[in-house]
Structure 1
Amino acid sequence: MIKAIAVDKDGTFLKSDHTYDKAYFEKIFDELKRQDIKFIVASGNQYAQLQSFFPEKDQHITYVAENGAVTYYDNELMTSYYFDQQLIYDVVETLTRYFKLTDIVLSGIQSAYVKQICSDEFLNFISNYYYDIEKVASFKQIENDNFVKVAMRIKDKDLVEKVINTLETKFAGELRAVTSGNDSVDLILPNVNKGVAIQDVLKQWGIKHDELLAFGDANNDIEMLDLTTHSYAMANCSPEVEAVAQHKAPSNDDSGVLQVIEQYLKRQK
């Protein structure tokens, strides 16, 4: 019996054009509410951005945002985990000094932040994943916020490997680097991920791991998929995700998540 469903957003629930079949979803969502099945949107994206895709559903959707760093339900912050601020400044200095990276976004609980020197291309790119974005001359001028994630876009795959190896060596035990699709690299807290956050809410609800249905496509979904035997890798997933998930779902462009959920709902009627 499935009592909760967790879905990644980009590359999983959303199609490649960042849309989803709203009529199909409304049909499925009505049945989820009827069967009292919890619906969790779990993403590396910002809470405000996730929320914008599901208007007027705050009382029915739990949002695990920023790769598990923040969890919201009904517009209330349930849990949050954030970095030491000086660590983030040291990380950004390493990225800019050694790798000349400027397309960096800091995710705070209040907003997302980019430097004024970031490229217009990067700003347009991250607008697909962040709803509230502020430009600042220096990250050090940010006040009254806590940083939950650092993200960057690196198109050179060899450079991705160098950046990840350098950061995980220099800041061992203080951060973890994960790829999240679309040339994106996320720096997250080492013991915080979608799986940890979802485990917390399942415990609050009294729901067992094998009562969870989960979907993902990228490496930041691995811990979430590893929670349950009802785990689905999308047709377009990474090799690492395919190795962890117990099942394969149709492509995100074919509404694969909704197809699989519909099958489960029919069995539980």
Structure 2
Amino acid sequence: MTIPFKAVAVDMDGTFLNDQRSYDHDLFAQVLNKLEKHNIQFIVASGRPFARLKNDFSEFIDRVDFVTANGSRLIVEGKEVAVEGLTKKQTIDLVNFVHHTYGSMATMAYGRETAYIGTEAPAKDKEFLQYFAKESVEISDWEELPDDTFIELTFHHDSKIAGEIEKKFNEQYGNIVTTFASNPVAIDAVKHGINKATGLKKLLAYFGLTGEDLIAFGDSGNDIPMLDFAKYSYAMENGMAIAKEHAKYLAPSNNDNGVLRVLNEYLDKN
């Protein structure tokens, strides 16, 4: 039987990672070896920035490619090949709009190399966001952000208002941002029109592939474009209902090595 895909894309939190934010390195090494024998690309498609991801995959960094920050920054063989983001002014406008409309909340803005978090955020919320950033700097005044391309913002808030933020902000400022419910208490915002599917489309083109060649795994709202894009799409058993509605198949829980178990089923048939 021929393996029906030539590339794998996996979300991280709630999908590839278990609830302890880790994964079985030995099992992954075994699966990655099998994938490489069949010339199948392994791609991490995450809301996390590369600073965090290169730590997560430190022992596999030369064997994995990355669609980071929900499609905003693409990394191939450890090098940036494409980046899309918000300007400093757009970033400040968005932070001010969200805080004025919904109240002050822990907020992080990701530059290409460094993330910035407001000093006013509660310590527990800072810890939550700083984990994902890996490298971060506290900032007391958002006007003092450096000139940079900001690939993503994360607001630590009930993610049910993600779509509302996008609609209201874009009505006032023009089509600037796209937002995702990346976690029940996290809202990610990126440049308008950017998502995991747009990033994957660009990255796959480097390998002469398309969504018809892709198997993808996800669990939440920011995975929906990717699940719609991939010919073979899996939502995790533990995933949000909305993700399951957009997936063709269901994978075992993230706590049961669901991604690796499904991949092994395909690989072991060959």
TM-score by length of 2: 0.93
Match of 1:124 in 2: 127
In structure 1, which of residues 253, 261, 264 is the aligned counterpart of residue 255 of structure 2? 253
In structure 1, which of residues 83, 86, 91 is the aligned counterpart of residue 86 of structure 2? 83
- d(CA) in 2 for partners of 1:85, 1:144: 6
Tell whether 2:8 aligns with 1:25.
Answer: no
In structure 2, which of residues 76, 93, 102 is the aligned counterpart of residue 73 of structure 1? 76
Match of 1:187 in 2: 189
Question: Does the CA contact (< 8 Å) of 1:58 and 1:73 recur in 2?
Answer: no
1:115-149 superposed Cα distances (whole Å, 9 cap, x missing partner):
22221111111133111111112222222421111
In structure 2, which of residues 219, 231, 234 is the aligned counterpart of residue 232 of structure 1? 234
Structure 1 residue runs without a partner (length 5+): none
Match of 1:167 in 2: 169
3-state DSSP class of the match of 2:264?
A: helix
Tell whether 2:59 aligns with 1:44.
Answer: no
- Equivalent residue letter for 1:209: G
Offset, 1:168 = 4.3
Q: Which structure 2 residues correspond to residues 81-230 of structure 1 after superposition, within 5 A?
A: 81-155=84-158, 157=160, 163=165, 165-230=167-232
3-state DSSP class of the match of 2:18?
A: coil
Runs of 4+ with deviation above 6 angstroms:
none
TM-score by length of 1: 0.93
- d(CA) in 2 for partners of 1:203, 1:72: 13
Cα pair distance change 1:123/1:116, threshold 3 Å: same
Tell whether 2:70 aligns with 1:58.
Answer: no
Offset, 1:160 = 5.7
Identity percentage over the alignment?
27
